[in-house]
Amino acid sequence: MAARRPRSASEHDCDDDSYEVLDLTEYARRHHWWNRVFGRNSGPIVEKYSVATQIVMGGVTGWCAGFLFQKVGKLAATAVGGGFLLLQIASHSGYVQVDWKRVEKDVNKAKRQIKKRANRAAPEISTLIEESTEFIKQNIVVSSGFVGGFLLGLAS
């Protein structure tokens, strides 16, 4: 959490913004309402449980996520595959005439647009990856349980 530092008269001329870092734990110690709302130990809730409980919590949530991912993935693959199959049957039966040159042109146009958008979205993606990596490092026990449960959920 950062707050803008008050400026003196000589600093008003400079366009350089200065920030000071506020320590949230010091802030909580000085402001008693924070402790009343969030409690004395307002850190990650997971740390308050034993290692076995953390692994079980991660494993159960991972299994649920993996199981749902498997079911939704199968449904999506079936729908897309069935659509292509019906399109091929209709094409070979003469019901549908496909202009392959136009399809190729449209696909190439879509590729160019995706590349442009991917270049613009790169900073957000790298920030998300950094935040996810930091979360996994801080919660390694729960994360490892989640990964194990996710793989079991995919296999079931």
Domain annotation covers residue 14: no
Domain annotation covers residue 95: yes
For position 36, what pLDDT does the model report?
Answer: 56
Residue 146 belongs to what domain range? 54-155
**Tens digit of pLDDT at every position of the chain (156 positions):** 455 555 555 555 555 567 676 666 666 566 565 455 555 554 455 567 788 888 888 899 999 999 999 999 999 999 999 998 998 898 888 888 878 899 999 999 999 998 888 777 677 777 888 888 888 888 888 888 999 999 999 888
Q: Is the dihedral of CA 100, 106, 112, 117 positive or negative?
A: negative
For position 72, what pLDDT does the model report?
Answer: 95
In angstroms, the Cα distances linking 70 to 58, 79, 144, 153, 155 are: 18, 14, 19, 8, 8
Task: Return the amino acid letter for 145.
Answer: G
For position 15, what pLDDT does the model report?
Answer: 53
Domain annotation covers residue 46: no
Domain annotation covers residue 138: yes
Domain annotation covers residue 34: no
For position 64, what pLDDT does the model report?
Answer: 94
Report the DSSP beta bridge partners of residue 21. 2
For position 42, what pLDDT does the model report?
Answer: 44
Domain annotation covers residue 60: yes
Domain annotation covers residue 137: yes
For position 83, what pLDDT does the model report?
Answer: 92
Q: How many domains does the chain have?
A: 1
Domain annotation covers residue 117: yes
